[in-house]
Chain A
């Protein structure tokens, strides 16, 4: 049975303390892989970012993330896995998302963490918009993200 944690919040989080908590509740874990996504300081044209807005679909977003974590727990032998995702307006350089996967061996931890991030990008209802001195614009999805998620598809 894999322990799962899903948290959506406006508040800042500390990746170090999240990893500490994840590890403290495990017994057979020998390795943890974590990923932290941050707000960039500039947009894709090199213009300084004022802020990033994360919109979500209350209810569906949480359900989607739980579904992704359940899929990960079905595929790999992991002891504990968690996602923290922020919503609302975030300043540049702030953490946006954290994924942590704890397993007895590193291969399961690496694979499941990457799987969860790839699916979060394409399956969980979040939408980003960036604010610069030139105004506010919604971010388009990337085909490369869909291609990364498609790699995990099972036949």
Chain B
């Protein structure tokens, strides 16, 4: 199981704040998860998740798209931060 969170404008665009993927044997990298969601959830998700500035974290640490993901991990996709 992999839990995936979405934040900010991205969450509003796809109308989802989190999903759980139960079958994760083939989803062992951030890029594979992004491709899987892009293909299975339609064009709005595809466009939103493939914006060049999207930030991705695994277990609450920002990673690059080739980062490894394991069963039980927490992944998040979000726009660049705008706090402070």
Partners in one complex: yes
Which chain B residues (17-68) contact chain A, with CB distance < 8 Å?
Answer: 53, 57, 60, 62
From the candidates B8, B53, B84, name the one contacting A37 in the complex (CB within 8 A): B84
Contact digits for A110-122, partner B, Cβ 8 Å, 1 yes 0 no? 0000000100111
Contacts of A85 in B (CB 8 A): 83-84
Q: With A57-B60, A59-B60, A127-B7 known to touch, is A117 a contact of B84 (CB < 8 Å)?
A: yes
Contacts of B5 in A (CB 8 A): 57
Confirm or deny: A18 has a beta carbon within 8 angstroms of a beta carbon on chain B: no
Q: With A55-B8, A138-B8 known to touch, is A127 a contact of B60 (CB < 8 Å)?
A: no
Contact B78 A120 (CB under 8 A): no
Which chain A residues (117-143) contact chain B, with CB distance < 8 Å?
Answer: 117, 120-129, 138-141
Contacts of A105 in B (CB 8 A): none
Contact B83 A97 (CB under 8 A): yes
Q: CA of A123 to CA of B62 in the docked complex: distance in angstroms? A: 9
Q: CA of A126 to CA of B80 in the docked complex: distance in angstroms? A: 9
Candidate in B5, B9, B76 with the most chain A CB atoms within 10 angstroms:
B9
Contact B83 A124 (CB under 8 A): yes
Confirm or deny: A28 has a beta carbon within 8 angstroms of a beta carbon on chain B: no
Contacts of B78 in A (CB 8 A): 57, 125, 127
Binding site for A on B (CB under 8 A): 5, 7-9, 12, 53, 57, 60, 62, 76, 78-84
